[in-house]
Structure 1
Amino acid sequence: MSLGARLAYSFGAFGNDSFYGLLSGYLIMFITSHLFNTGNAAEDAKMISIVTLIIMALRIVELLIDPFIGNAIDRTKTRWGHFRPWVVVGGSISAIILLMLFTNLGGLYQKNAVLYMIVFAVLYITMDIFYSFKDVGFWSMLPSLTTNSREREKTATYARVGSTVGGGLVGILVMPAVIFFSAKATSTGDDRGWFIFAAIICGIAFVSAWCVGLFTREVNSDIRKNKQDTKGIVGIFKALSGNDQLMWVALAYLFYGIAINITNSLEVYYFTYIMGMPKAFSIFSTINIFLGILATSLFPVLSKRMSRKALFTTCLVVMLCGMGIFAFAGSNLPLVLLALPQSLVSHNRWSS
């Protein structure tokens, strides 16, 4: 691979995780803190409850859709390859729709609350599906970039550093940037501040998806050719249900993903409302990004010296220790900064 192609893929990882950080951590913050702020506390609380339930239900629906997304990508055959079309199309559409969700949709909530909920649900599931196409296609294309194992390892390292920096940088910049771009200087900013920050992140995600599409190439080889196509809904579920190893891992990761994503979503609320120090969230994110890069660099070395089972167990124990400290940290900033980064860094290694 050329250095340019490797950097393009790394930039794609940067944009992909920046987008996911905005989606998973801060869209809900915008919705609960700014979108429904009519002055009627009871009505606002009701709408927030409905919207968050809609998001939860749609994320569960996504679990059922994901196998079909993977199958559709696998069956895609174009002159541009299996994956790049989905990275470009999925990245472009999801970025545009997420930016729309960081608005009040032209004041639609005030005009017709029911219609707003319907439009929000349609936009959210559309955005989530296209992002899933982009995310699955992006990480699945790594083996197709080169047939050389050392080249793949280099590219994977570049990409993991890019994703760590991208996801972490959103956390570092979110509160200072939102407050800076806001018309009024408040502890959590205003609608304009959130929209401008979202526009920057969505713009990066959009451009990075096109960089992957334009500056990388998929390599065809006999190893990557499918020997058998999985067709239809029944065929997909038969393939999944017949793989007991996959089903157990999927079940474990389901519960694990629920727990870690709840924790991720809690962070900015914790620093803002429990500790009363929203700008200190940038300190946490800065520590996390450096520890993430360090963990990424050490992972190949440790995996050679330890068995995968031992490494997995060690990361799990460290993560649980971090969660335990966090449970009793209260408003003690040093304890919070000790607890959260080590739990999330171990989470990143588990995912790898």
Structure 2
Amino acid sequence: MENNTNHGWVSRTSYAFGAFGHDLFNQVMNSYFIMFVTNHLFNSSDTAYNNKMIGVMTTIIFVLRVAELFIDPFIGNTIDKTQTRWGKFKPWVVVGTIVSGLAMMLLFSDMWGLTSKPMYYLFIFTFVYIVMDIFFAFKDIGLWSMLPALSFDSLEREKTATIARVGSTLGGTIVTVTIIPMILMFSATNEGGTGDSRGWFLYAVVAAIIALLGAVSIGFGTKEVNSRLRENKEETGFKKVLWILVHNDQLLWLALAYVLYGSGVYLTNSLMLYYFTYVLGDAAKFSILGMLNMGIGLLAVSLFPALAKKFKRRNVFVICVVILFVAIGIFAFADKNFWLVLLAGALFNLPQPLIFLVVLMTFTDIVEYGQLKLGHRDESLVLSIRPLIDKLSGAIVTGITGMTAVMAGMSGNAKVSAMTASNVWTLKAIMLGTPIVTVIIGTIIFLSKVKITEEKHAEIVAELEKTWGKDDAKEK
């Protein structure tokens, strides 16, 4: 028993470090790549050209990410079919990290000066972005769909997911802390308070290396459960992938609720640096918010098991949504008051890792729901929907962020001194108004349609043990 316990901690720690590198990479791409595009990639004296290229770039990203929504379930299905000596997931996590990391480095560059030749640049950019997105999808789906393969016990999954979320929270928030100071350190000049193109490229290199180290940690440190419950009665063919997704009602309702929540919250996160840069007029102070959020996020995640036990996951979700709205209310009146902005930003960050864990655990438990209802166990297929939703939300947010930067006069060579009251109002209206609408609708759907609770999952596993075989759930 002691050896199993020790290995459990090794597995959790390795998984957490992998999640750290993964979310660091994801945060750089999802939240800050668009600022590199709007403020550094296209910042010539020709404002019309800059805005045109920004519009084309954000449209390409949106189209590619929406197109990939139809690919991700098949990526999950491919992972489910994988049989290697290292298991289903590890090869995809490591290879996906290597390829997507190299692609990200290229994306945070001008492709050897090709921005002066728009057609050539856009062609190569599209190809590299597709490669990055597909291999990141293999890594993303492989990483998070490992969770139900590490244990069948819902409480044990909570422990593993909580420690992993500590890692991912630290990875995501450390970007907020370090991105401006490190970019400035790497940069030769300081364009608009956010460094230069060289600084952004070198920061992307560091992020890619850390993500790779995390993937290697997962490769060496984790172990899948050996149980016949994980053996499918029949292989899920490509033709049956969409049938399985469409007939899993709980998966569809949770997906809809999460995409509404995610689109609103991620938009606010994405526009936060614009607020610090162009409203407060001091991008360097963004690191202070990052340090505060790091501590708050780690505290919130560490409390999740206790909170879930005392209040149950659904109630934790509701409490978190209330905190989000309080934060938005403070932000609406903060204007240039740094301390109110800091308070609002910290409160807005506080519930996000908790909501992520509630949603992740519900997705994980839906694996057994689908197994019982449809007669298939499809770990990666089911878990592929969560990162798929993140990508859809990311695509929506990228498009709106680029549009907002142009509409609010916060792109190219924009100066803080040139910001008007109308510019600031445009930013705040989109940054704060959007999540109010989307999060309310998403919460209503989650509470009224998603029925998978801790108790319901325990009943499902008990029934599976009878129908799949009495001894199937024994973990070896």
Bucket of the pairwise TM-score, normalised by the shorter protein: over 0.9
- Residue of structure 2 equivalent to 1:196: 202
Structure 1: distance between partners of 2:151 and 2:259: 31
2:271 to 266, 269, 272: 266
Structure 2: distance between partners of 1:250 and 1:219: 27
Structure 1: distance between partners of 2:258 and 2:274: 25
Instruction: List per-residue Cα deviations over 1:91-110 (Å, max 9, x = no partner).
Output: 11111100110110011121
Q: 1:228 to 1:324 in 2, by over 3 A?
A: farther
1:160 to 132, 148, 165: 165
Instruction: List per-residue Cα deviations over 1:324-343 (Å, max 9, x = no partner).
Output: 22233222211211112222
- Residue of structure 1 equivalent to 2:80: 74
1:144 to 146, 149, 155: 149
2:307 to 299, 302, 324: 302
Q: Which is further off, 217-226 or 292-301?
A: 217-226
Structure 1: distance between partners of 2:351 and 2:9: 29
Q: If the length of structure 2 is used for normalisation, what is the TM-score?
A: 0.70
Q: Report SS of the residue matched to 1:188.
A: coil
Pair 1:239-2:237 in alignment: no
For residue 37 of structure 1, report the CA deviation from its aligned partner: 2.1
For residue 21 of structure 1, report the CA deviation from its aligned partner: 0.9
Instruction: List per-residue Cα deviations over 1:293-339 (Å, max 9, x = no partner).
Output: 11111111111111332221111111122122223322221121111
2:123 to 107, 112, 118: 118
- Residue of structure 2 equivalent to 1:9: 15
Pair 1:50-2:64 in alignment: no
Q: Report SS of the residue matched to 1:77.
A: coil
Equivalent residue letter for 1:178: I
Structure 1: distance between partners of 2:145 and 2:110: 35
Please tell me the root mean square deviation across aligned C-alpha atoms, in Å: 1.8
- Residue of structure 2 equivalent to 1:205: 211
Q: 1:316 to 1:149 in 2, by over 3 A?
A: closer
Pair 1:170-2:178 in alignment: no
Q: 1:177 to 1:156 in 2, by over 3 A?
A: same
Aligned residues of 2:162 and 2:305 also touching (Cα < 8 A): no
- Residue of structure 2 equivalent to 1:292: 297
Does 1 or 2 have the higher relative contact order (CA < 8 Å, sep 6+)? 2
Aligned residues of 2:15 and 2:218 also touching (Cα < 8 A): yes
Structure 2: distance between partners of 1:328 and 1:104: 39
Instruction: List per-residue Cα deviations over 1:238-296 (Å, max 9, x = no partner).
Output: 11111222212111212222112211210111111121110111111111111111111
For residue 148 of structure 1, report the CA deviation from its aligned partner: 6.9
Give unmatched runs, 5+ long, in structure 2: 1-6, 358-476
Q: 1:181 to 1:265 in 2, by over 3 A?
A: same
Structure 1: distance between partners of 2:8 and 2:322: 39
Q: Report SS of the residue matched to 1:64.
A: coil
Instruction: List per-residue Cα deviations over 1:50-84 (Å, max 9, x = no partner).
Output: 10111122222222222112111111111111100
For residue 229 of structure 1, report the CA deviation from its aligned partner: 2.7
Number of corresponding residues: 350
Q: Which has the larger radius of gyration?
A: 2
Structure 2: distance between partners of 1:79 and 1:335: 54
Equivalent residue letter for 1:11: F
Aligned residues of 2:159 and 2:305 also touching (Cα < 8 A): no
Equivalent residue letter for 1:163: S
Pair 1:280-2:288 in alignment: no
Q: Percent identity?
A: 47
Pair 1:89-2:95 in alignment: yes
Q: Which is further off, 201-210 or 213-222?
A: 213-222
- Residue of structure 2 equivalent to 1:63: 69
Structure 1: distance between partners of 2:318 and 2:189: 48
- Residue of structure 2 equivalent to 1:99: 105
Give unmatched runs, 5+ long, in structure 1: none
1:23 to 29, 34, 57: 29
- Residue of structure 2 equivalent to 1:182: 187
